[in-house]
Amino acid sequence: MSGNAGLKPRSLAESGVKPFRSRDVSILFSSTTINKSRLQISRRTSTSTGTGLNARKSIRKSIYGNQITINDFEIGKKLGKGKFGKVYCARHKKSGFICALKIMDKKELINFKVEKQFRREVEIQSSVKHVNCIKLYGHFHDTDRVYLILEFAIHGELYKLLKKKGKLDEVTSSRYIYQIADALSYLHDRHIIHRDIKPENILLGFDNTVKISDFGWSVYSNQSMKRTTMCGTLDYLPPEMVEAREHNYKVDVWALGILMYEFLVGKPPFEEEFKSSTYKRIAQVDLQVPSHVSPEAKDLIQKLLRYTPEKRINLKDIETHPWIVKNKPHWDEINLEEGV
């Protein structure tokens, strides 16, 4: 794909997500209805432990191998909006299971010629089972729309937290970067490149757990395979993309460096008013780290944001980097509720 065809603009919309409590049920769920559809849940539904395990088992038992209608769910408030659809909070009436329902218009998918991309998104996300990746429980469709049943992240987009606080402290940032690095390492071991890491695609769950979401630009690719599609978000593009060179899984490593910088500084490192200026700074790796960033954090950012992909730090080595080691003992002191 040439030019900027694969670029996605940064979202400025508020997600509207609030921490969910039992007393909020009447507020969270509205009378919004969706046309009847037939539903089948994927055999690859997660069996991981954690909050809501019994509810997940109940919903699997209730609908596995059977067809039910959308009327078996209560549809709640809109959580977010993307280029190809909207995401709502939903609850399975019988079990009380809370999930997110991503709804996309078939005509839009066809008009933008992304049917193949959508099928790949479903295939990849349904195979992913990692605590720091949003789970895909199943999918269904009707005459006009397709639907993805996704894990509900109670605190919504990390972008919302960043916008409210301006930037994150190093203890909080280190915990989030550690988790995202672990998730990306998991994906890469399974030959999956995400290709769209950014705050809008990182969700926050319970206990300061971050969740990678939106696998729309993800692809299968072994570590030696090179890709050519220019995709993702402008501020997070690596030099090999802006220079129209082939790329591989190392684009996710670069994006992690941009994300870490934005956590600590409050904006991406190469952000400029004009796209051409941003492209130029990325290609030159014109990196300027503010003095308030610790030496350990600066070192990791520089190791993530290297021009040559092969010289970027191995994700598995982040766990033992001095910045992570220094901050890890303080992770239990993080109080997310103060920031959301």
Residues 143 and 264 in one domain: no
Residue 84 lies in a domain: yes
Task: Count Cβ atoms below 10 Å from residue 60 Cβ, excluding itself.
Answer: 20
Q: How much is the pLDDT for 229?
A: 53
Compute the radius of gyration of the chain from its Cα atoms: 20
Residues 146 and 177 in one domain: no
Consult the annotation and say whether 83 binds a ligand.
yes
Residue 13 lies in a domain: no
Percent of the residues in the chain that have a pLDDT greater than 70, as a whole number: 75
Consult the annotation and say whether 151 binds a ligand.
yes
- Predicted confidence (pLDDT) at residue 231 exceeds the cutoff of 60: no
- Predicted confidence (pLDDT) at residue 157 exceeds the cutoff of 90: yes
Consult the annotation and say whether 152 binds a ligand.
yes
Residues 204 and 122 in one domain: no
Q: What are the residues whose beta carbons fall under 8 Å from the beta carbon of 176, sequence distance 6 or more?
A: 158, 168, 202, 208, 210, 263
The residues annotated with a catalytic role in the active site are 196
Q: Contact 93/74 with Cβ under 8 angstroms?
A: yes
Q: How much is the pLDDT for 83?
A: 76
Q: Which two tokens stand for residue 15?
A: 């997600």
The domain total for the chain is: 2
Residues 276 and 318 in one domain: yes
Mean per-residue pLDDT of the chain: 81
Q: Which two tokens stand for residue 240?
A: 């090999």
Q: Contact 300/178 with Cβ under 8 angstroms?
A: no
Amino acid identity for residue 216 in this structure = G
Residues 180 and 133 in one domain: no
Consult the annotation and say whether 153 binds a ligand.
yes
Q: Give the model confidence (pLDDT) of 68-100 as tens digits.
A: 667 778 999 999 887 788 999 999 888 899 999
Task: Single out the residue in 121, 151, 181 at which a domain terminates.
Answer: 151
Residues 324 and 227 in one domain: yes
Q: Give the model confidence (pLDDT) of 185-225 as tens digits.
A: 999 999 999 999 999 999 999 888 999 999 989 999 865 55
Between 325 and 207, residue with greater pLDDT: 325
User: Which range of residues forms the domain containing residue 285?
Assistant: 156-338
